[in-house]
Amino acid sequence: MGMRELITDIESLKDGDRIELHPNDQNPLHKSPFVAMFNKGYFCAENSDPFDGPDYYWRDVLAYNHGWRVLESDGKRIEDGDQ
């Protein structure tokens, strides 16, 4: 199976979704793909301290990333080829 297309529709995300973000050249925090959790319009990268607040707001994600792939939604892993 091939890789899924990158998503850019923020409305498609649900609270608790684990996503793989693909940063663009302007991203000040990340230079390679990374995993984050979506919650109420905020994104917290894995291995960051949630007490420091979110790493990205939805506008930052749209400005500093090419898009994302959902890795897990509703507690279920999303495989390549699934949507």
Name the nearest CA neighbour of 34 among 58, 18, 49, 13. 18
82 pLDDT tier (thresholds 50, 70, 90): low
pLDDT value, residue 35: 97
CA atoms within a 13 Å half-sphere pointing along the CA-CB vector of 82: 8
CA 45, 16, 65, 51 dihedral sign is negative
pLDDT value, residue 3: 61
β-sheet bridge partners, residue 28: none
Q: Is 4 exposed, middle or buried (0-12, 13-18, 19+ CB in 10 A)?
A: middle
- Tens-digit pLDDT profile for residues 7-66: 888 888 999 999 999 999 999 999 999 999 999 989 999 999 878 999 999 899 999 999
4 pLDDT tier (thresholds 50, 70, 90): confident
